[in-house]
Structure 1
């Protein structure tokens, strides 16, 4: 794995750690590629019964690396790495857990909609500022969020960019449990307990709960097409320039 994505396996759990703390775990193309590889490794390993995604203290994932995306925009379109990861996440037959501490921005929030269990600390903050950047939702969030929390709350999150704290996220249905201390340890213990159960029964139960995923996969692809067009729009260019001027 790359230096920014670490994987480890223990007790039937494959842990995928976002480890780019200096950038609050903002995702690059290579990080997407390595996470997808982690899902493939888990799927082909009979000793793995659950996947756990986690970040670093204070930052689960700050979304996409905007500098990386600016470079992508110049080439036109979005790279296959983004689509491949989102498809791997949405189609995962193994249970996927997440342990969140601190910032979960953009894809750092929307990937959680595909997880089977999400543990978060009280200081976690969830936000999807797509519109503020001249962009649109991704990861099938425009489909899944209204199902989870209703159209009005989904609009608050995806269109207005309202931040959600852990308590409100739990109320909305995409955080399972709030854990005050050692959220990663709690997530690992929960994943380990599930991995110890009869594997095929777990797999079939998840499949029954999740149902047909064709609409989710189709939405992912539709959103990517719109997102790619928005990425080269004048609104996005101006928003990105303003963002980098504030950072500079």
Structure 2
């Protein structure tokens, strides 16, 4: 893919990186980019070589949200919002771990895009805002579902109704950010985290991620049934046998493949 494309996809050692690449617009996403992101995420979902995804923005910004000025205004808003929703769902439902590397602004859909990831690593200069009401709009990109589950209902109302801009430390305190790192350290930190995750057993990671995502909307009995079904899948992989053998032998963790053992 051309490095001048508005969205750049690269892969290395099982780590796939999606870079929003319009730094002059703080990586605001226009109509065409939503379609590109959907196609990329669908491709990643079906790529057996991808073990981890890193989502980032170029040029010292993560994403300023949807680019309203560049969007097609002769189109009804329903299909436009459907495209945004398609990206939100595809990102949240990726079977592999997803790391949002947030440097600079993450506003509106850009803020909720970060929240849809499994981990958010923010630089010390990152800023977050549910900016929608300042534009006369209500939340999108799954924010009405994601935000209260992460920060609680009252804090979600504070962020959504006041459209405050909060710094990385405040976002970390609220649970929106997993780690905060100095600007000069964030690249190395995210790379190390991605490699740690890529070395984990992929089927077990996928099952655990799915259980946690589904668990927030179900009761304990259903969660336990889902856990049993997932564990049966794990037992049927080479990874479970290799991990158990390494535990008994007190040897180094094995190379996990995710291969079916039956």
Superposition TM-score, scaled by structure 2 size? 0.76
Partner of 2:192: 189
- Equivalent of 2:154, from 152, 155, 171? 152
CA distance in 2, matches of 1:120, 1:168: 11
The alpha-carbon deviation at position 75 of structure 1 amounts to: 2.1
Partner of 2:86: 84
- Equivalent of 1:136, from 138, 158, 182? 138
The answer for unaligned runs of 5 or more in structure 2 is 219-262
Aligned residues: 213
Partner of 1:24: 26
- Equivalent of 1:207, from 206, 210, 214? 210
Contact 1:91 1:213 in 2 (8 A): no
Once structures 1 and 2 are overlaid, which stretch shifts more, 186-195 or 119-128? 186-195
Once structures 1 and 2 are overlaid, which stretch shifts more, 178-187 or 117-126? 178-187
CA distance in 2, matches of 1:213, 1:82: 23
CA distance in 1, matches of 2:86, 2:66: 15
CA distance in 2, matches of 1:188, 1:34: 24
Contact 2:123 2:180 in 1 (8 A): yes
Bigger radius of gyration: 2
Over 3 Å counting, the alpha-carbon distance change for 1:10 and 1:213 in structure 2 is farther
The alpha-carbon deviation at position 206 of structure 1 amounts to: 0.7
SS at match of 2:200: coil
SS at match of 2:131: coil
Q: CA RMSD in A?
A: 1.9
Contact 1:90 1:213 in 2 (8 A): no
Over 3 Å counting, the alpha-carbon distance change for 1:5 and 1:185 in structure 2 is farther
Contact 1:13 1:188 in 2 (8 A): no
Q: Deviations over 1:91-139 (max 9, x none)?
A: 2111111101001111111112211111011110001211111100012
The alpha-carbon deviation at position 214 of structure 1 amounts to: 7.9
CA distance in 2, matches of 1:155, 1:184: 32
The alpha-carbon deviation at position 4 of structure 1 amounts to: 0.6
The answer for unaligned runs of 5 or more in structure 1 is 216-248
Once structures 1 and 2 are overlaid, which stretch shifts more, 14-23 or 134-143? 134-143
Higher relative contact order (CA 8 A, sep 6+): 1
Show the 5 A alignment for 1:1-248. 3-69=5-71, 71-72=72-73, 74-78=74-78, 79=80, 80-180=82-182, 181-211=184-214
Over 3 Å counting, the alpha-carbon distance change for 1:76 and 1:212 in structure 2 is farther
The alpha-carbon deviation at position 151 of structure 1 amounts to: 2.1
Once structures 1 and 2 are overlaid, which stretch shifts more, 121-130 or 136-145? 136-145
